[in-house]
Amino acid sequence: MNWRTISNLSTSSKNDSLVYQEYFIEDNYDFNLSKKYNFHISVYPKPYPKSSSQGFNQPIPIGYKKNEELTFSVQEYIQELPYGTVFKWKIKNSGSEAKANKDLRGKIESDSGNGKKVEITKYKGKHDVNCYAIYDNTVIATDTIRVNIF
């Protein structure tokens, strides 16, 4: 079983196929992660605790509220990437709200050329933000961040 098959099984079902089409970067670009280029996605504003009413000594979830503007950016180690590297982004929503609104997403999009992606939080749940560094039509580095919306 290849990576795509495993990914499809873990993220969607036959019922989801009517509301969800996930795209895969390897369908359009070669992969070469052998040079060990690195970068990290950062998000602004920083996440904050849901509330302090969880009870004494209970873990407090960290995340964001709905309808917040988040800016994802590629910063750390970006100077190590070759000149001319471009970034593509994939946002994957999850949860019953996103599914009910037929907005699970999974499309791969370009940014405006500055290594940044702005999104408005819409649905409760855990959502993945993937970024791909592409140079000479080849993915040379990737990073993923999970965002919790409550």
pLDDT tens track for 95-133: 899 999 999 999 999 998 889 999 999 999 999 999 999
Residue 65, judged by CB atoms within 10 A of its CB (0-12, 13-18, 19+), counts as exposed
pLDDT value at residue 84: 92
Stretches where the chain sits below pLDDT 50 are: 1-14, 16-18
**CATH class of residue range 26-51+61-149:** mainly beta
